[in-house]
Amino acid sequence: GNWWTTEVDGWAAGLGGSARGVDASVRRSYREGFALGGGSGADDGDALGMIPPERRPTEDEITSAEIGRDERGLLNLNSWEDYYRLRGLSPSSPAALLLTFPLTLYYAIQRYGAVPVTVSKMLGRSMRVHCVGIEKETNFLDLFKEVGFLLPEDLKVELTFVVRGDMLPPKCRA
């Protein structure tokens, strides 16, 4: 299945039908995970502006979308409209439904991370972020690449996911 299966069918504490099929060790491309036509990625959603490109935005795209940067080099994304314009998504794209958590994380770094971002850059170390209670998102791990695509290249982030073992699907339990 793709990422939509988990979102639409529900999680049910890791025991729902779609959750039982989740294997966090399986990596999916954006094309596979965002596939709107049933899971194979065979539909051409990316060509229709329905999914973001699986790469950093170029400087030309940033300029064209009229997105500025703050003093730390972070993109000033203040709305879904800003993000969709930057990533070339159609306003009808449902991508926001799956990207809510990764982009909320980006916004938190942008809005509240002035000191950690500055210190990480000064020391040349990764900024550590702990994400708590994201059992369902174990199926969406590849979506968190979007946070890295949006951050400046000189800022490295280390994400630590804290989950309850009893809320994970069977294939993800130790």
162 three-class SS: strand
Helices 95-112 & 114-123, crossing angle to 10 degrees?
80
Q: Which of residues 142 and 38 earns the better pLDDT score?
A: 142
What average pLDDT does this structure show over 119-135? Answer: 91
Task: Say what the pLDDT of residue 63 is.
Answer: 98
pLDDT tens digits, one per residue of 34-84: 776 554 444 545 556 888 999 999 999 999 999 999 999 999 999 999 999
Stretch (H or E) spanning 161: strand 157-162
Task: Say what the pLDDT of residue 11 is.
Answer: 66
Give the total number of structural domains in the chain.
1
pLDDT tens digits, one per residue of 85-97: 999 999 988 888 8
In three state form, how does the secondary structure of 116-140 look?
HHHHHHHHCCCEEEEEECCCHHHHH
160 three-class SS: strand
Q: Give the contacts of 73 (CB within 8 A, at least 6 positions apart).
A: 152, 154, 155
Parent domain of 13: 3-172
Q: Which amino acid is at 67?
A: I
